Amino acid sequence: MSPTPTPTGRAAPMAPDDRRSAIIDAVLPLVGEFGLDVTSRELADAAGIAEGTLFRAFGDKLTLIGAVAVEGLHRASGPVETRAELAAIDREAPLEERLERVIELGRRRMTDVMRWMGVLRALHHRTGARDQVEPGHVQDFRAQLAQQREQQREATVAGLIGVLQPDEHRLRVPIEVAVALVEASIAGTHARVDHLLPAPSPRVVADALVHGIAKDRGEKHVPAATTTTNTASNAPSENPPGAATPRTPHPQEP
């Protein structure tokens, strides 16, 4: 983070807002990895500045971490970025590959959102703010974030429809239902509370979405024991009395 040299050869001082933005960009990966456990020394080293400069720009470490988490959450919820990522998926690729890419992108964004929300929650508890009435700027931030998330949701739906449309003629459900199923498969990765099983890979989920999880393609198998005879029918039986009813072999039997 080096200031631009002036014609005299001396570095021009950065405007306060520009310096804060540059610091946030430099330390964002570090805060994302370590959260509140990151040290002031590590933050200053990542930004390439002295700790004193860090404190002059933000006041203290927790204020800096809060600013970084807010920026990270905004980036993870960006509708413009979401729209661009989904638009960049090759529409000529097989449907399975397109959905695999969608799931990869969706999981990454969900991971980022959960990470930054976790940092903000930890910061909220560390500062004791949970016992206080939220100040106006925090309420404004929540409202702005909710609006941004709604815009991202709209961008996601439009993008997924675009990804699915080349194969809309193959879908067994309306395209809006297919979009909802894709979204649910992404959200389910992070909605789990038991963690009993690892999340399937994006490729496995994409294949299951396209081809289903059953091999019989929905054909119903009625066990012989539950089959009833239509006594009202006068049609002769194909089998003589007392003869065993032929059994339909299982597809996997020899």
Mean pLDDT of all residues in 27-34: 94
Is 90 exceeded by the pLDDT of residue 193?
A: no
208-to-159, 185, 214, 215 alpha-carbon distances in Å: 21, 10, 9, 11
Per-residue pLDDT of 43-86, as tens digits, reads 999 999 999 998 899 988 999 999 999 999 989 988 999 999 99
Q: What is the mean pLDDT of residues 20-30?
A: 94
Residue 146's pLDDT is what? Answer: 85
Q: Is the backbone of residue 48 left (phi > 0), alpha (psi -120 to 50) or beta?
A: left
Who has greater pLDDT, 203 or 239? 203
Cα–Cα distance measured from residue 118 to residue 19, given in angstroms and rounded to the nearest whole number = 26
Residues 138-179: pLDDT tens digits? Answer: 677 778 888 888 999 999 999 999 999 999 999 999 999 999
CA–CA dist 9, 76 (Å, integer): 39
